[in-house]
């Protein structure tokens, strides 16, 4: 029997059908990603499974005794006490055991030796075994591990829950839920309030988690890492695909191509039959025409593939702008004793798309505000190129007045535009009819983001600074934004934790962390490869404590004499080390910025040739040793 199954579920709110005919089966230990456009009923499905919403029709069949934990997007957080005390509630069963053990220990001190004493001692030993087997002696360290993984500093552990921010409360609810180890964990947009480090930690945790997980998410990278199946909610129904999000995309595209081809073929046949019936219904071939009409009426029609609604974006700068868009020289910024970054040196050329990443509070948004001139640096310069005009998308949409209507905001960007042209324009962002008179404050987060992007585009800037532009956007809208940024002819700096976006659009990655900034050539995937290579090198050989590291780890060059003394294991280890070095050096040499500094370029090129030569020699030696049977 499945862990839980939904059978022909139907739910409506008033005249609005949310889901109908929904069938979904969840097995022990599997991870399912639940996706779909905003407003399609994903959260409703989770609430039906959790039992907080009753379906109007259909059956929810769950295995007897199943434990379900449901973490909503904005959980109803009424817990008291400190953060640590709240998380401890995940181990209430252990606390019950602990209290029983303490009671028995007290009884043993008052009961004299004899049968009753032996019975109590035996029971106490049983409870100790249960307590230990269920991790009773390690639960405090488990709580600390999870809180640190979700990026709660120790200073917050004993903070009152009433003092936690909204994002902290959501992460606390996730921590409590995963530590309680339910049979089925329901997560609704869990990464919304997480930085990249916390998201990666949660990914790793869920990959190893032995129980079942159903997660609603627009984070495609997260779904690629975690999901073994994808359930898509589309036009009130659910369809399940095998594999992760990338597998789903492939299957979905092929399915739509097949359905479109079959639809077009059937429509051609139907048109031909209808033409025959029309021409012959009153003629000599009346009976044949009537027979064809009856057969045609019985034909099961193939539906036209339904395209998801997405807003259409076309960023195009009004003026081309200079080749040198932005130069940062020795830029430093601190708040009190906290240094965000110091000595930051960065050049951005026309057409580059720089993705900015880093933990929460590292200074990513502050960097954007320094570029805009909304913050003043403690030291250094921000130099914009000639003719550069900036368009800014704020993370919290501070550029929108909640009292304004949508059309008011558009007129701010284009005061001389005609109402009819703005109506047509905003329609591309899925606002139709009287929608334009809705107040900004009454719109959802995704709708406000669409208005902000519409307003930004009207400005015609040639340098876009986008701070978390995919927040509150569903997957189809994120894909539309991605394509628009890729097609944009200007320059882009985008602060984002959306790794899928950064993988698809970034030409460089800037990591801000620990008061420093590092630039990596390539997209997010190239950045991950470079970091993985550095970590591999660090594991193989510790960094030298006496020499500063510039382009790679300090190591001894391999000589012919030293090669003769190596075992096969040593050769393989050295090859792995050198391959990692080659990957890092290649990435650095691919960065056009390095060639603006000829001396640095010469050093890198020399290092690359040396490492490549040594790697070739070791590969030849390895082949020779294998041939000689030195395995």
Report the predicted TM-score, pTM, of the whole model to 2 decimal places: 0.77
Q: Strands, DSSP E only, in 52-119?
A: 57-62, 68-71
Q: Mind listing the pLDDT tens digit for each residue in 42-61?
A: 999 999 999 999 999 999 99
Q: What is the pLDDT of residue 544?
A: 42
Which pairs from 410-417 meet CB under 8 Å and 24+ separation? Answer: 410/436, 410/454, 410/455, 410/458, 412/455, 413/455, 413/456, 413/458, 413/459, 414/458, 417/458
Q: Mind listing the pLDDT tens digit for each residue in 123-135?
A: 888 887 877 777 7
Give residues with Cβ within 8 angstroms of 467, minimum separation 6.
364, 365, 368, 392, 393, 394, 395, 494, 495
Q: Mind listing the pLDDT tens digit for each residue in 172-205?
A: 999 999 999 999 999 999 998 888 999 999 999 9
Q: Computed from CA positions of residues 56, 186, 471, 166, in that sequence, does the dihedral angle turn out positive or negative?
A: positive
Reading phi first (left if > 0) and then psi (alpha if -120 to 50, else beta), residue 351 is in left
- List alpha helices for 506-589, DSSP H: 524-540, 560-564, 568-589
Answer whether 21's CB lies under 8 Å from 10's CB.
yes
Q: Mind listing the pLDDT tens digit for each residue in 539-598?
A: 665 444 443 334 344 345 566 666 777 787 777 777 877 777 777 777 677 666 566 667
- Mean pLDDT for 523-540 is 81
d(CA 485, CA 470): 12
How many CA atoms does the CB half-sphere of 538 hold within 13 Å?
8
d(CA 415, CA 403): 18
Burial of 595 (0-12, 13-18, 19+ CB in 10 A): exposed
Q: In what order do the strands lie in the sheet with 229-234?
A: 68-71, 184-188, 212-216, 31-35, 229-234, 237-242
């Amino acid at each position: 029997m499945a862990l839980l199954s939904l059978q022909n579920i139907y739910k409506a709110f008033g005249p609005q059908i949310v889901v109908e005919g929904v069938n979904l089966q969840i097995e022990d230990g599997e991870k399912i990603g639940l996706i779909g456009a905003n407003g399609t009923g994903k959260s409703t499905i989770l609430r039906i499974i959790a039992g907080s919403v009753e379906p109007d029709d259909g059956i929810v069949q769950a295995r007897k005794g199943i434990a379900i934990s449901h973490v909503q997007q904005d959980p109803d957080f009424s817990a008291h006490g400190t953060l640590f005390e709240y998380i401890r509630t995940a181990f209430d069963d252990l606390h019950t055991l602990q209290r029983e053990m303490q009671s028995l220990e007290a009884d043993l001190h008052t009961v004299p030796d004899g049968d009753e004493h032996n019975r109590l001692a035996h029971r106490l030993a049983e409870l100790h075994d249960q307590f230990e087997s269920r991790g009773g002696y390690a639960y405090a360290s488990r709580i600390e591990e999870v809180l640190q993984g979700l990026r709660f500093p120790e200073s917050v552990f004993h903070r009152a829950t009433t003092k936690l921010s909204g994002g902290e409360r959501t992460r606390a609810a996730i921590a409590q839920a995963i530590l309680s180890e339910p049979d089925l964990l329901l997560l609704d947009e869990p990464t919304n309030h997480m930085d990249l480090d916390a998201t990666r930690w949660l990914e790793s945790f869920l990959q190893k988690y032995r129980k079942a997980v159903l997660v609603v998410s627009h984070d495609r990278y997260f779904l690629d890492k975690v999901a073994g199946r994808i359930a898509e909610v589309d036009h009130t129904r659910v369809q399940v695909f095998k594999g992760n999000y990338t597998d789903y995309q492939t299957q979905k595209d092929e399915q739509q191509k097949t359905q479109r081809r079959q639809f077009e073929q059937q429509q051609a046949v139907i048109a031909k039959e209808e033409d025959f019936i029309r021409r012959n219904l009153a003629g000599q071939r009346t009976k044949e025409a009537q027979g064809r009409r009856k057969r045609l009426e019985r034909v099961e029609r193939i539906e036209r593939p339904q395209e998801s609604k997405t807003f259409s974006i076309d960023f195009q700068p009004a003026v081309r702008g200079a080749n040198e868009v932005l130069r940062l020289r020795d830029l430093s910024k601190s708040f009190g004793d906290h240094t965000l970054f110091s000595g930051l040196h960065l050049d951005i050329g026309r057409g580059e798309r720089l993705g900015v990443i880093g933990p929460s509070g590292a200074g990513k948004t502050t960097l954007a505000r320094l570029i805009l001139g909304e913050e003043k640096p403690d030291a250094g310069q921000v130099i914009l190129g000639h003719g550069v005009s900036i368009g800014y998308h704020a993370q919290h949409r501070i550029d929108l007045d909640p009292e304004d209507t949508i059309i008011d905001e558009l007129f701010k960007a284009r005061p001389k535009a005609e109402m009819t042209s703005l109506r047509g324009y905003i329609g591309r962002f899925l606002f139709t009819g009287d929608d334009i008179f809705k107040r900004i404050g009454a719109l959802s987060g995704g709708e406000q983001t669409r208005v902000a992007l519409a307003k930004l585009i009207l400005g015609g800037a040639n340098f876009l600074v986008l701070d978390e532009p995919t927040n509150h956007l569903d997957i189809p809208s994120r894909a539309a934004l991605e394509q628009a940024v890729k097609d944009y002819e200007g320059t882009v700096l985008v602060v984002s934790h959306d790794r899928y976006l950064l993988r698809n659009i970034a030409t460089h990655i800037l990591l801000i962390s620990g008061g420093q900034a590092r630039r990596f050539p390539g997209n997010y995937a190239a950045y991950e490869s470079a970091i993985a290579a550095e970590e591999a090198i660090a594991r193989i050989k510790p960094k030298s404590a006496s020499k500063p590291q510039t382009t790679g780890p300090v190591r001894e060059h391999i000589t012919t004499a030293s090669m003769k003394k190596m075992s096969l294991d040593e050769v393989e280890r050295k090859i792995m080390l050198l391959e990692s070095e080659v990957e890092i050096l290649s990435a650095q040499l691919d960065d056009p910025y390095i060639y603006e500094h000829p001396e640095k370029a010469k050093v890198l090129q020399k290092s690359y040739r040396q490492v490549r030569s040594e790697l070739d020699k070791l590969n030849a030696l390895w082949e020779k040793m294998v041939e000689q049977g030195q395995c």
